[in-house]
Copies of this chain bind each other. A is one copy, B any other.
Amino acid sequence: MGAPMNPPLETTHLVRDACLCLHVQRAARALARRFDDALRPIGLTHGQFSLLISLNRPKPPGMAAVASLLAMDRTTLTAALKPLRRRGLVKVKADSADRRGRLITLTARGRALLIRAVPIWKKTHAGVEALLGDGESDRLRKNLRVLC
State the A residues within 8 Å of B (CB).
Answer: 3-7, 9, 11-12, 15-16, 18-32, 34-35, 46-47, 50, 53-54, 56-58, 69-73, 108, 111-112, 114-115, 118, 121, 125, 128-129, 131-132, 136-137, 139-141, 143-148
Q: Which label, helix, strand, loop or mixed, suits the secondary structure of the A interface?
A: helix
Shortest Cβ distance from A129 into chain B, in angstroms?
7
B143 x A12 contact (CB < 8 A): no
A121 x B29 contact (CB < 8 A): no
Copies of this chain in the oligomer? 2
- Considering the chains assembled together, what is the distance between the CA atoms of A20 and B31 in angstroms? 8
Known contacts being A30-B148, A56-B9, A56-B12, is A141 close to B23, with CB within 8 Å? yes
